Amino acid sequence: MRRLHPRMSDHEVSTLVARAGGNPLLIEELADADGDAASLQLAVLARCRELPEDQLEGLAMLVTAGRPLPTEHVPGLAGLVESGLVGADERVASVRHALIGEVLGQTVSQERRTRCHQRLATVLTHPGEVARHLLAAGRPGEAYAFAMRAVEEAHTPGERVPHLETAARCVDPAQGAEFRLQAVEAANEVDECDIAASLLEEVPDRPDLRFRIARARGIIAYFRGDSEGHRAAVEEEQRLARPGTEEEVLALSEASFVKLVLDGAYEEATPMAERAADLAQRIGAGRVAALKAVADTYYLSADPRWAEAYPAALEQARAEDDFAREWRIANNYISATETFGPHESSRRLAREMVERCRELRVLGLQRNFEFRELNLAGHAAQYDVVLAKAPALASLSSGMAVQFANDLLFTLACAQADVGDVEQGLETAEQILERDNERGRSNYHLLRSWAFLDDGRPDQVLIEEKAFREVDVDPARIALATPVFAWAAYETGAPHPDMAPDAPDYGMLAGACLETRAIASLRAEEHATAAAGFAEAAAAYDGLHQRAATRCRWAHGEALRLAGDPGAQAALEAAEDHARQLRMVAVVRRCQRSLRALGVRRSAGVSRSAGSPLTAREREVVLLAADGLTDKAIAARLGVAHRTVQTQVANARRKLGAENRRHLISLVTGAD
């Protein structure tokens, strides 16, 4: 695809190759269509329509099954293999690309699809699969019996939920409302929110079910990133909960979480959670939910008792075999240690939960905890780990909760931008908007702000700041973003954005508050005060948020330089060395500019070290420029667009901190 379409972005290439399933024939057709996915779809549709009857029947069987089938159950297999649409070995046959399923509906009649479902129900052996095909064939009574047999035979929550979904769809929503709601709750327990939401649509509005329906809606809204939907559902829970019952425990527990996360009302949230815990103890019900609520309020209120509360809640969840809350407690426990440290304990718990989810066959949650481990690597500036593993995990993000999928893309984009590939980071950020929710939009604008600040475009940061503040996000997130906006304001002369009065100042967020105040001191030309503030901020960030800690190391040296302190050069050189080891290109560039302002010349050897951020193509372009070639001549020599050469030169200048083209050439070649 890259050979045939060199001007396509990496994201476009990977997306279209995935749609073509790696089939070389279809990739070539896609290239001929100039990247038009609709043309590719038409090409596949034409191939399907040309198939003889037996091959069309075999293809319909494979697509209807949704998985490989034994070769003896696929009519016309030899011809399908020859056509390139199906692959087969001695035992099984499978469709070569996912696009077949998308276009089959335009070719295959409903009568044929029903016949395929009926035939599959007779040749497949797993009761869950049989149930699914019987239901699709219009035989719900028989499907229900097979689905319930599959539920009984399932050994884990992850296996059980899809069979419960099939069984729930077999019963009349009015007559089977209780059963359908049980299926919704089971899906929510393992974070299968799409299944839960779909089933919930047809649950009738019955007074005896309203509390549970509201609670299910709240869980779905939260994990879809719908803050207002979450708030409304929890308010409905509080209105409907019967006093003195487990319902009141659950309503108080979840209302305390809303007070914390959406309102930042820490003083109101903690007593509410503690009331839930007292009530749970008295009535002997809802104890795990209440213990989780107490631990959450302690964590988000920076009360050190969280370090004891989370293990107690986790132990109780496991004692009661309450996996639905076990994984949520573990997830928030990881967040707490992510904020306060130590991160190694967070990574151990994340790895433990990955194995736990694998054992229970809850793939979506397994990926979520794999992401949490990668996110911690990102905080530690372990970019090699993030860049090696995050793209593959992102390609599987359809099985993750929306908020985790968005956060994964955010972590990947940050790593790409930090190592100097700003454009790739911005391109990755665009994928976040494909899932429309508040947290995603917050991630998008914060990532762009970071990238533009690092790329020397502070004016653009101020535009992103306005968009970021229009999104309803929690105070902790705003606090973490404020230093970025403060730096942009400092560099452009815009008003300084003070930290919000309700901003939390614990853990890594303490670093954000300290850094923002130090920037204000820098603006006031109180350089010695600023230097001390940046040193304090770096210490607060250290071990928790390495990218910000490294930025503050540079800022400490820069403030010393402005104060005329003789220790400035040593501080800046130490910050540069640290940033270079972490491959943080933007901070290296800032350190080099500050050192040049001190009159310290940076040797070409430093810029050409093993840690040099230039790609092979960028270096090649600069060396050709050193030979005296113009950008147009370089483009003709390399067979690329003129604009591509300009971009390569601009990227190289930003990465090496070159003031102009001549300076760039001297840094790369070592010429004076």
pLDDT in tens, 423-434: 888 888 888 887
Indicate the range of 263-277, 329-343, 432-446, 579-593 predicted with least confidence. Answer: 432-446
Residue 191 in contact with residue 168, Cβ under 8 Å? Answer: no
> For residue 584, with 0-12 CB atoms within 10 Å meaning exposed, 13-18 middle and 19 or more buried, which class applies?
buried
Helices (H) and strands (E) in the chain, counts: 37, 3
Q: Are 134 and 114 in contact (CB under 8 A)?
A: no
Query: Mean per-residue pLDDT for 277-293?
Result: 96
Confidence band, pLDDT 50/70/90 cuts, at residue 40: low
What integer is the mean pLDDT of 280-303?
94
Cα separation, 265 vs 57, in Å, equals: 61
Q: State pLDDT tens for residues 324-349.
A: 899 999 999 999 999 998 898 999 99
Handedness of CA 173, 177, 182, 188 (dihedral sign): positive
Q: What is the pLDDT of residue 158?
A: 85
Higher per-residue pLDDT: 67 or 660: 67
432, 403 contact by CB (below 8 A): no
656 pLDDT higher than 90: no
Separation of first and last alpha carbons in the chain:
43
**Residues 6 or more apart whose Cβ sits within 8 Å of residue 566:** none
Each residue's pLDDT tens digit, 52-79: 999 989 999 998 998 899 999 999 999 9
Tell me which residue of 79, 159, 166, 62 sits closest to 120, measured CA to CA. 62
29 pLDDT more than 70: no
Q: What is the pLDDT of residues 183-226, one digit of tens each?
A: 999 999 988 888 999 999 989 999 999 999 999 999 999 888 78
Reading the block at residue 124, the tokens are: 């497949």
pLDDT at position 99 is 67
pLDDT of residue 646: 82
pLDDT at res. 420: 82
With 50 as the cut, is the pLDDT of residue 604 above it? no
Per-residue model confidence (pLDDT) at position 96: 76
Same-fold call for 10-122 versus 611-672: yes
Please tell me the predicted confidence (pLDDT) of residue 28: 64
Q: What pLDDT does residue 27 have?
A: 65
Q: How confident is the model at residue 477 (pLDDT cuts 50, 70, 90)?
A: confident
Position 269 scores a pLDDT of 93
Residue 637: pLDDT over 80: no
Q: What is the pLDDT of residue 606?
A: 35
Q: For all residues of the chain together, what is the average pLDDT?
A: 87
3-state secondary structure of 109: coil
CATH topology of domain 611-672: Arc Repressor Mutant, subunit A (1.10.10)
Q: What is the pLDDT of residue 452?
A: 92
Selected from 3.30.2290, 1.10.287, 1.10.3470, 1.10.10, the CATH number assigned to the domain covering 10-122 reads 1.10.10
- Strand-pairing partners, residue 94, are 87
Q: How much is the pLDDT for 364?
A: 83
The residue extents of the domains of the chain are 10-122, 474-602, 611-672
Q: Tell me 284's DSSP state.
A: T
- Residue 50 banded pLDDT, cuts 50, 70, 90: confident
Name the pTM for this structure: 0.70
The model's confidence at residue 672, banded by pLDDT at 50, 70 and 90, is: very low
- Region 2-12: mean pLDDT is 71
- pLDDT band, residue 397 (cuts 50/70/90): low
Mean pLDDT: which of 230-234, 635-639, 662-666 is highest?
230-234
Q: Cβ(381)–Cβ(584) under 8 Å?
A: yes
pLDDT tens across 92-141, in order?
A: 999 876 667 667 766 778 899 999 999 999 999 999 999 999 999 999 99
pLDDT at residue 31 greater than cutoff 60: no
Residue 488's pLDDT band, with cuts at 50, 70 and 90, is very high
Say what the pLDDT of residue 95 is: 85
User: Which pLDDT score, from 0 to 100, does residue 605 have?
Assistant: 37
Inform me whether the pLDDT recorded for 632 exceeds 50.
yes
Nearest CA among 534, 539, 440, 442 for reference residue 487: 534
Across the range 74-85, mean pLDDT stands at 89
* pLDDT on residue 300: 86
Q: What is the pLDDT of residues 438-476, one digit of tens each?
A: 778 888 999 999 999 988 889 999 999 999 998 866 788
Which residues, in sequence order, are bridge partners of residue 392? none
Give the per-residue pLDDT at 146.
97
For the chain, how big is the Rg over CA atoms in Å? 29
